[in-house]
Amino acid sequence: MIEKGKISAFQMAVLMYPTIFSTAILLLPRITGKQAAQDLWLSPIWASAAGFLSVLLVYRLHRLYPGQTFIQQCETILGPVLGKLLGFAYLFYFVHITAIILREYGEFVVGTFLRLTPILIIIALMVFVCMAAVRGGIEVLGRTAELFGPLVTLLLVIIFLLLLPELHPEYVLPFMEHGVGPSLKGAVAPMIWFSEFWLVSFFFPYLADPERGLRWSVISVLIVMVSMVITNIIALMMFGHLMQHLTYPVMAAAGYITVGGFIEHLESIVMAVWVAGTFLKVSTFYYAFSLATAQWLKLNDYRPVVLPLGFLLILVAFWVTPNLIQMSYSMATTLPFYFLFYQLFVPAVLLLVAQFRRRSHRRRNPGRPQPNALTDG
């Protein structure tokens, strides 16, 4: 077995929460607000459909071929040639998305706090730390998530509570001024984040309690949706029209808090929360990437690949985009389609093909057992 560890479904859910949400908290208000204006808090509700759908697709594939991750399922379903090609495409996707995440993280840290530090240092350090976590295995990831995840949530809740006196609920009006269209348009970008839930495909085979896998994944999607709605609403009620002029509204909001003239400058808490969350996010993607690579190459351990992939990620983080403006632009325009293709569309097609093959196999060979993970390998 390539990965001998096991995690519980709860740990997987706790791992997925910061994985999805930690980048969202910074960029979400701006990206959704651009399209939806004061209806931006509805966008995550619409977009969560992509999350539920991803989870469902991955779960169905898992039921058909348990013990296999998505990369392996590609080969099982599409055959050796096509499956391997598709797997390879996915390795490229992994490099691309993980590098984008690293770059986002680096740009934020350098842009707001450590402006003079070379971004290479920031990105490389994050990769090194995640390398250690990924080499530790899935159990290490799960336990780290159990430790950091609730901490992240708690700090965020504290910040939101402290912001309550500064909120203007009337900024939510006029509700649906131009109908439901704007909030739907704003929902396109968050679907990238929600469909990242397909990553659970790499965790389902290693669950200690697989029968609870679906339930906890769905709960995780729900909690991410609620968190996004709260983030957007807080940004809206705090800044109103000004929100569209701010790059990182949540940071600005945290910086505005003052309690008794004493507790101030809380953006450092947002920063800490964000770094912890990004660490988990990068680790999860990095882990899935290493696992996928090792499985694609049919290695019997994924650990040797971790180091070289790490360096590759650092490199690609630089190649991904020349500057922050281009990255934001692509995230708002092309990237949703690109990522949704890999995270939602292809799994759906794969599932359909799998169903189709089973049906035709059953028709052709009544009574013979289905090909599955154990017989086909």
Partner 1 sequence: MNRGLLFLLLPLLFLSGCWDRNEVNEMAIVIGTAIDYKDEETIELSVQLVIPKSMAMGSQSMGSDQGSPGMKSTLVESASGYTIYDAVAKIQERIPRRLFWGHNRILVISEDVAKDPFSHHVDFFLRHPQPRLRTKLFISEGQAKDMLAVMTPLENSSSKAAQELSRLGFGLRVTIMDFLQMINSDANSAAVPLLKVVPPDPEIGEELSEHLQMSGAAVVKNGRMVGIIDDETVRGLMWILDQIDTAEISFEPDKAKGSMSVQIIRSKTRLVPQIENGKWRVIVSVDTYDDIVENQTNLDLDDPRVIDELEKNLEKVIADRIQRAIQQVQKEMKADCFGFANVFHRHFPEQWRQVKDRWETMFPDVEIELAISAKIKRYGLATHSQGTPKDEVEHR
Structure tokens at 121: 């240092």
Choice between 110 and 331, CB closer to partner 1: 110
Smallest gap from Cβ 20 to partner 1, in A, equals 26
Smallest gap from Cβ 131 to partner 1, in A, equals 6
Choice between 265 and 298, CB closer to partner 1: 265
Choice between 99 and 252, CB closer to partner 1: 252
CA 142/CA 13 separation, integer angstroms: 9
Nearest to 350 by CA among 70, 150, 136, 118: 70
**Whether 143 contacts 11, CB under 8 Å:** yes
Choice between 41 and 203, CB closer to partner 1: 41
Smallest gap from Cβ 176 to partner 1, in A, equals 9
CA 35/CA 45 separation, integer angstroms: 15
Smallest gap from Cβ 320 to partner 1, in A, equals 22
CA 317/CA 313 separation, integer angstroms: 6
Choice between 5 and 255, CB closer to partner 1: 255
CA 80/CA 293 separation, integer angstroms: 16
Smallest gap from Cβ 114 to partner 1, in A, equals 4
Question: Which alpha helices (H) appear in the chain, and where do they start and end?
Answer: 9-36, 43-64, 70-78, 80-112, 119-136, 138-163, 181-186, 188-195, 213-239, 249-256, 267-296, 303-319, 324-332, 335-340, 346-364, 373-376
Smallest gap from Cβ 119 to partner 1, in A, equals 11
Smallest gap from Cβ 254 to partner 1, in A, equals 11
Choice between 135 and 358, CB closer to partner 1: 135
**Whether 57 contacts 198, CB under 8 Å:** yes
DSSP characters for 261-310? Answer: TTB--THHHHHHHHHHHHHHHHHHHHHHHHHHHHHHTT-S-SHHHHHHHH
Choice between 94 and 108, CB closer to partner 1: 108
**Whether 2 contacts 299, CB under 8 Å:** yes
Q: Which residues bind partner 1 (CB under 8 A)?
A: 111-118, 121, 125, 128-129, 131-132, 135, 170, 173-174, 177, 239-242, 245-246, 252, 255-256, 258, 261, 265
**Whether 143 contacts 132, CB under 8 Å:** no
Smallest gap from Cβ 214 to partner 1, in A, equals 35
Choice between 133 and 344, CB closer to partner 1: 133
Q: Is 177 exposed, middle or buried (0-12, 13-18, 19+ CB in 10 A)?
A: exposed
